[in-house]
Amino acid sequence: MLKRILTLTAFLNLVLIPFVSAEKPNLLIILADDMGYGDLSCYGSKQIPTPNLDALAENGVRCTDGYVSASVCAPSRAGLLTGRYQNRFGFEHNLSPHDHVKPERLGIDIRQPLISNKLKELGYQTGIIGKWHLGDNIPEMHPNQRGFDYFFGMLGGGHDYWPTPQKNKLLLNGEKITKIRTPYLTDWFTLEANDFIDRNSKADKPWFLYLSYNTPHAPMQAKEEDLAKFSHINDKTRRIYCAMQHNMDNNIGTIVAKLKELGQLENTLIVFLSDNGGSVEVSHAINAPCRGGKGSNLEGGLRVPMIWHWPSKLPKETTYSQPVISLDILPTFIAASGAEAPKTQAFGQSIKNKKEAAMATDGVNLLPYLQGENKAAPHESLFWRMTLRAKSVRSGDWKLLVRAHGDPELYNLKEDPSELNNLHGKNPEMAAKLREQLIKWEGSLESNPLWISNNTWFKYNEKLYTRKFMLTQPEKDDPRDFWGFNALEENIK
């Protein structure tokens, strides 16, 4: 009898478990780095054709009002991977050494689970390829200790695109890379991503991959064959940026091709976004029609392209215009896996028990909204704060911005997406209502910032609000200067 039971168990393991695994969707985050809101052709670019990302948008859901939780890299990524406002656990600024902060605190609190931890518990093979930038001072902060089975990339915030065996910061899990697989880093990350997908798909295991490109973050470096396609652009930095964008789009196309080859595309949930708005000064990104850029709480710093693609579950040729945020990815992915999405933390609620707080989320499961089943807005309000830089709240069409170097600003984003007409003096009731929401949200945060940006950033931060910005898309070969701090073209406000 026991033998018959064991035989039946073996049969179920061989037959039913692969069947169950196949039912779980694969989950893929593709994250660009410092990419402009207006620098995909499906978001209006006339200079950068991005046919592969356009195809994902055409066959999925394109969000017009997608946001991240911070306007700079590290805190934005901390919010994305935890599904919580990173302000709740003190990760409010980019990482930098401070004498008053213990090195082991410079990163995401090791008690805070990440999306990788949660999906690993649900039976997923988990991987990160590319940029980490979430702390590395103690072994417990390493990606392999944060729920990722596989890690290839760099722990810091940037990397040369032409690594050499002698000069690189790349790791394969815990081992330093000493052999270059392919010369250009974006290509290499994609090869590793395709290998991860191929390996786990053939093993019939559901997988979660966080493909964290550093494209098009500085240093501005591109392949000659990509640069040749943009020789008509006079500005050198902009030309390199366009070439880097083109290269990333081509690489994403090979990932989609791999999924098709393996028969996995229909049951793979893909979300593409940038970690923050484009860096106008450094990389000559264009965030049009949004004013502002990386580092500011203007729309150009916080609003990013966001594309959701899951052919078997999400509609095609759909534009979604309600505000959504990167914090929504974690609960959406968990719900997509078949598990119950974590409970959204109530507005104004502060969870003092650290274990309970770590399990909460500020995001929501977007599937009912993207599928058209729920017509309401996913969020009543969204919030942002970088202490001593700026804080802001968006509720419906209205946004209140309070920055360190200026008077409060109130905008109606539906009527004024470029934030040119400050209505603070004309609508004091709405300004007071949003300020009350912002104060209530700040009062609910469980932690103060654990570190602050270097003071040298404050003067630079003022320029991010007072300089001129390109608010319309330039033509393919427009020769004008849109990026200098003193640019004065008529169509730059």
| Model confidence band, residue 178 (pLDDT cutoffs 50, 70, 90) | very high
3-state secondary structure of 390: strand
CA distance 299 to 310: 27
Residue 124 lies in a domain: yes
Q: Does residue 398 lie within any of the structural domains?
A: no
Phi, psi of 16 (to 5 degrees): -80, -40
Query: Which distant-in-sequence residues (6+ apart) come within 8 Å of 391 by Cβ?
Result: 297, 383, 384, 385, 401, 402, 438, 442
pLDDT of 484 above 70: no
The one catalytic residue in 63, 73, 242, 290 is: 73
Q: What percent of the chain has pLDDT over 70?
A: 94
Q: Are 269 and 26 in contact (CB under 8 A)?
A: yes
Q: Which helix (H) or strand (E) holds 52?
A: helix 51-58
Question: Is 396 within the bounds of a domain?
Answer: no
User: What CATH number has the domain bearing residue 281?
Assistant: 3.40.720.10
Report the alpha-carbon distance of residue 371 to residue 314 in Å, rounded.
6
Residue 480: pLDDT band by 50, 70, 90 thresholds? Answer: confident
Give the amino acid at 1. Answer: M
Instruction: Give yes or no: 73 in active site.
Output: yes
49: which 2 tokens?
Answer: 């054709």
Q: Is residue 486 part of a domain?
A: no
Mean pLDDT of the chain: 92
The per-residue pLDDT for range 381-396, each reduced to its tens digit, is 999 999 999 999 999 9
Using an 8 Å Cβ cutoff, are 133 and 74 in contact? yes
Q: Taking the model in full, what pTM does it have? A: 0.93
Q: Kindly state whether residue 387 falls inside one of the protein's structural domains.
A: no
User: Has 405 been annotated as catalytic?
Assistant: no
Residue 291: which domain range? 24-381+449-466
Kindly list the distances between the CA atom of residue 50 and the CA atoms of 7, 47, 217, in Å, as whole numbers in the listed order: 53, 10, 17
Task: Lowest mean pLDDT of 45-54, 386-395, 483-492, name the range.
Answer: 483-492
Any domain includes 329: yes
Residue of 93, 133, 159, 309 marked active site:
133
Helical pair 236-261 and 51-58, crossing angle rounded to 10 deg: 50
The pLDDT tens digits for 187-239 are 999 999 999 999 999 898 999 999 999 999 999 999 999 999 999 999 999 99
Please enumerate in sequence order all residues whose Cβ is within 8 A of that of 9, keeping only pairs 6 or more positions apart, or say none: none
Tell me, yes or no, whether 371 lies in a domain.
yes
Domain count, the chain: 1
Cα–Cα distance measured from residue 481 to residue 493, given in angstroms and rounded to the nearest whole number: 13
**Residue for token pair 């559901």:** 206
Examine residue 154 and state whether it is found in any structural domain, yes or no.
yes
